[in-house]
Amino acid sequence: MTPSRARPAHAIAHSHAVGLYYALCLSLPVGHHAWAVGTPQWTLVGPAHVLTDPGRSSVPFASLPSSEHSLSAHPHSTERTELPDPLPAREDPARPPNPPGVAGLRNLGNTCYMNAVLQCLASVPPLAQYFRSGQYVTALRKDCREVATAFAYLLTDMWLGDADCVSPEEFRAALGRLHPDFTKRTQQDAQEFLIYVLNALHEALRKYHQRSGEKRSTQRCCSRGIASETSIITQLFEGQLNYSIMCLKCENCSYRNEVFTVLSLPIPSEYECTLQDCLQCFFQQDTLTWNNQIHCSFCETKQETAVRASISKPPKTIIFHLKRFDIQGQVKRKLRTDIHYPLTNLDLTPYICPVFRKHPKYNLCAVVNHFGDLDGGHYTASCRNSVTQAWYSFDDTRVSEIPAPLVQTSMAYLLFYSWQPFSKATQKCRS
Ligand SMILES: [Zn+2]
C-alpha cells in the first residue's frame, strides 16, 4: 500500500514528543488500514492501536517496506458520523492549497468557542513556533504532558498547509481529562476556555525560575499570585499590574502587584466607544467606599481608599477580554457596543509605569468574535497569518481571506495584541 500523502512535519512532531528517531505518519483513505511490525521499543503514538512483534529484527521504522507498517488510520481521518462537521477530504486538486497556518477546525458539537480560541493561539507567531519546532519537548513535565503534546500536534497539523481542515478532537480529549466540562456538547465561554488552555499549557511546561527583581518587589508588595515558575505561556502572555492604594484619610500609600494573562475590560458605552475608552475606564482611579473600604495600617481601621492600576510588566502578547456579558444579579444581558480597536499601533503608554515603557506599541494578531445572545450564540475568529500577512476569517471548517477593514466588527469579544513585528516572526515560522 502506498501512503496517500506524507505529512513530514506532523511525523517530526510525534518523534520529538516520544524521543524517537523514526516516525512516519500516513494519511489513508477512510476504510483503509496500514499494518506495521516493529520491535517492542517502538512506540506508536496517536493511533488507537499499537502493535508490536518482538520476533522481528530491529529495522529502522522508516526503511521497512510500506506493506509491513502497522499504523491504524490517523485519528484525524476517523469518521464520527454523529458529529456536525465531518472532516472533509481535499477533493479538488486544481484548488491551490491553503497557506501554512490557514486550516479550518472541525466542530465537534458546539465547539466553536474552542475552535475560535485555538485559531487565535495558533496565530501568535512565537507560540506556534515554540510548539511546531519541538522546542516544547525539553520543557514537558512527565506528569501532565498530555495537553501540551496534543496542542503541539494540533498546531503542527494546522501549520502544515496541506489540509483544508483539521480536527481538534485529540486536544479536546486531553483537555477534557483535566476539565470534563469541555467534552460536553454545550456551548462554553471562549474567555474561560482560553484561561483553562493557558493554565494547562503552563502546568505542563513550567520551570522554576528566580525572576529578576522578584525579591525586591515582594518586600513592598503583597506577592500573592506572582508565580515563581515560568513557561512559554508566562513568557508570552503574562503581565503584571501594579495597584497604588492610598488611604483617603491619612494619605498613606501602599502597593500591590498582581499578574494577569487576560485583561477583562469594562465597556463604558451601550452603543459605541473605542478600545482606548475601555482601557481608560479600567485604569482610571477607583474610590472604594462603604463595604469596599480597605484596612489602613496607619489609621488601624477601614478607610475610604483610592486605587489606581498601572501595568508594571507589559506582556509580549496582551489579550483583552471585552466584558460584553453583563450579569447583575438575575439580570443578564449582552452589550452589543461597537468597540473600535486599531489593527496596528495600539498605544499602551498611558497605562504602563514609566520605567517599563519599552514596547508600548502593539499590533492586533487575532480576534475572537461572538455572534448572537448570551446563552448560545456562535464564535468565530479573525487571524492575521504571519506568513502571508493577510487576514483570514475562521468559522469552524469555513476559512476565507478577508480584507483588513473587515477585522473590525462589533462582535469582537477577545483581542490578541502582539508587540513583536510580524516580519521577524515570519522568518522563524518558515523553519
Ligand atoms: Zn489611613
The model's pLDDT over 400-426, given as tens digits with 9 standing for 90+, comes to 999 999 999 999 999 999 986 544 444
Contacts 24+ apart (CB under 8 A), 275-282: 275/320, 275/339, 275/340, 275/341, 275/342, 275/346, 275/415, 278/320, 278/322, 278/339, 279/348, 279/350, 279/351, 280/350, 282/309
Is residue 40 over pLDDT 90? Answer: no
Measured between alpha carbons, how far is 240 from 222 in angstroms, rounded to an integer? 13
Q: How far, in Å, is the centroid of ligand 1 from the Cα of 302?
A: 8
Banded model confidence at residue 93, pLDDT cuts 50, 70, 90: low
Banded model confidence at residue 113, pLDDT cuts 50, 70, 90: very high
Q: How far, in Å, is the centroid of ligand 1 from the Cα of 244?
A: 14
**Pick from 367, 384, 373, 364: nearest CA to 426:** 384
Is residue 52 over pLDDT 60? Answer: no
Is residue 252 over pLDDT 80? Answer: yes
Q: How far, in Å, is the centroid of ligand 1 from the Cα of 248?
A: 7
Q: How far, in Å, is the centroid of ligand 1 from the Cα of 312?
A: 25
User: How much is the pLDDT for 385?
Assistant: 95
Average pLDDT on 3-18 reads 49
Helix, strand or coil, per DSSP, at residue 18: helix
Average pLDDT on 365-378 reads 90
Q: Which residue ranges make up each domain of the chain? A: 104-206+230-418
Residue 240 phi/psi, 5° resolution? -135, 135
Measured between alpha carbons, how far is 404 from 110 in angstroms, rounded to an integer? 28
Beta-bridge partner residues of 394:
381, 399
Q: Which helix (H) or strand (E) holds 381?
A: strand 378-384
CATH class of 104-206+230-418: alpha beta
Residue-wise over 213-241: b if at least 16 C-beta within 10 A, else e? eeeebeeebebeebeeebbbbbbbbbbbb
**Pick from 306, 270, 301: nearest CA to 289:** 306
Q: What share of residues in the chain are helix, strand, coil (percent, to 5)?
A: 30, 25, 45
User: How much is the pLDDT for 10?
Assistant: 52
User: How much is the pLDDT for 416?
Assistant: 98
Active-site residue identified among 10, 69, 112, 365? 112
Residue-wise over 271-281: b if at least 16 C-beta within 10 A, else e? eebebbbbbee
Q: How far, in Å, is the centroid of ligand 1 from the Cα of 13?
A: 58
Banded model confidence at residue 396, pLDDT cuts 50, 70, 90: very high
Average pLDDT on 100-120 reads 94
Question: What distances in angstroms separate CA 188 from CA 109, 111, 113, 218, one per listed residue?
Answer: 11, 8, 6, 36
Is residue 210 over pLDDT 50? Answer: yes
Measured between alpha carbons, how far is 381 from 396 in angstroms, rounded to an integer? 9
Residue 365 has which C-alpha cell?
494578531
Is 247 known to be catalytic? no
Range from 98-107, 123-132, 159-168, 212-221 carrying the lowest mean pLDDT: 212-221
Is residue 428 over pLDDT 50? Answer: no
Average pLDDT on 137-147 reads 88
Contact 423, 386 (CB under 8 A): no
Please state, for a pLDDT cut of 70, what percent of the chain lies above it: 71
Question: What distances in angstroms separate CA 348 from CA 258, 265, 310, 381, 402, one per listed residue?
Answer: 18, 14, 10, 24, 27
Is residue 326 over pLDDT 80? Answer: yes
Residue 212 has which C-alpha cell?
529578576
Banded model confidence at residue 84, pLDDT cuts 50, 70, 90: low
User: How much is the pLDDT for 195?
Assistant: 96
Residue 401 has which C-alpha cell?
481571506
Measured between alpha carbons, how far is 75 from 45 in angstroms, rounded to an integer? 10
User: How much is the pLDDT for 342?
Assistant: 96
Measured between alpha carbons, how far is 157 from 202 in angstroms, rounded to an integer? 21
Contact 133, 431 (CB under 8 A): yes
Please work out, in degrees rounded to the nearest 5, the angle formed at the alpha carbon of residue 293 by the alpha carbons of 290 and 294. 170
What's the chain's average pLDDT?
77
Is 112 known to be catalytic? yes
Residue 27 has which C-alpha cell?
494519511
